[in-house]
Every structure is written in C-alpha cells, then in structure tokens.
Amino acid sequence: MGNSASSLRERRAAATSLGLQTEARRLTAERGLSGFTIEELCSEVGVSRRTFFNYFASKENAVLGIPVHSDTTDLEDAFVAGTGALVDDFAELHIAKWERLDLKSTDAEALGRAFDREPRLFAHFVSLAAEGEQHDIALVRRRPDAPDDDLRTEAVVRVFSAVVRPAIFAYFADDSQDFRTLLLSRLDAARSVFSL
C-alpha cells in the first residue's frame, strides 16, 4: 500500500510540475514574463502560490523547467567514483541527467515561442548554463583521474559543452532520435578531430 500511495504522490507531483511549466510557457509566449503574475499562473493551474514555490524558484525557472528540487547527487557521485575514462564517464553522466529530464520536441517548440517573446529569458538560460559549467568543472576536479592543472580540467568541460549543444538541438529537431547516439557520435567526431 505504501508504494501505491508513494507512486500516486509522484504522479500528482509530476502532473503539477508539468502543468506549471506548460502554462508558464504559454503565458510567457502570449504576454512576456512581465505580462502575468505567479498568482495568475497558479490560478490557471489550480494550485497555490506556496505550491508553486515548492516546484520552482521563479517564473523564469518554471518556463525553463528547472525544478527547485533536482537531485542528481547519485549520478554525480557515480561519476566521481567512476573507473572508466574521464570523458566517457562525463558523457554517461550527462546522458543520465538528460534521460531524467524526459524532454520532447514539443518542449523545444514551447520554449522557442517563449524565447521569441521574452529575450531576457534566453539570457537567464545562458546564465544558468554558465553556472552549470562551473559546477561541472568542480565536479571533474573531484575525480581521482582529473587533469593535474586547471586549464585542462576546464577544457574537458568547455569542449564537452561544445559537443553536447548540437546534440541537444538535433534531438529537439527530431526527438525520435536517441539522445545517447546523437551525443556519442558527436563526441567521437570531436575525438577524431583532436587526434589529427
């Protein structure tokens, strides 16, 4: 009985999160971020303001689908303890994080409309991506096989970021493609270029 109650709570939480994201994207595309309040968003979804902040830290994060509680500690700990090649394990970490997001091409379409209406939202996204890269650099440093200088550690993350972006764009263009394949094929191409 405990498992079914837990899974019901999880399904309701997922539905609430999705409802807030979907409505935040729609309202942003129609009115811009300044064109609606969190209270209006909550009213549209049928939740309280307090509930909203249990899921998202801001309207911007709701539009982007970045939850307050996104625990990937287990994945990051596995990466730090990994025994495979550093770059291979780093790719597996990002694939696992991507799979948890469960994004579809419709998400990209809705985000695109929101970005078109609200350019500062894209700036927020870029800022979060930069924070993510700094977090990843610190994570790579924790590995026993991390490069022995900061420049090479940073290069691991920056080069990987340049590889993962086009894989994400390709996935959103056609989400019937497997993200793992899209990413790893681009990573193999980058490796072949660097071996020239």
Give the per-residue pLDDT at 49.
Answer: 95
The CA distance from 167 to 127, in Å, is 20
For 195, phi and psi rounded to 5 degrees? -90, -5
Give the per-residue pLDDT at 195.
Answer: 83
Give the per-residue pLDDT at 90.
Answer: 96
Give the per-residue pLDDT at 5.
Answer: 64
Give the per-residue pLDDT at 48.
Answer: 95
Give the per-residue pLDDT at 2.
Answer: 57
Enumerate long-range contacts of 59-62, CB under 8 Å, 24 or more apart. 59/24, 59/28, 59/33, 60/33, 60/121, 60/124, 62/20, 62/21, 62/24
Give the per-residue pLDDT at 109.
Answer: 86
Give the per-residue pLDDT at 144.
Answer: 94
Is the CATH number of domain 1-69 1.10.357.10? yes
CATH architecture of structural domain 71-196: Orthogonal Bundle (1.10)
The CA distance from 69 to 13, in Å, is 12
Give the per-residue pLDDT at 175.
Answer: 76
Give the per-residue pLDDT at 3.
Answer: 67
Which residues of the chain are in CATH 1.10.357.10 domains?
1-69
Residues of the chain with pLDDT below 70 are: 1-6
In whole angstroms, how far apart are CA 89 and each of 60, 95, 116, 123?
A: 31, 10, 35, 30
Angle made by CA atoms 8, 74, 125, in degrees to the nearest 5? 85
The CA distance from 38 to 182, in Å, is 37
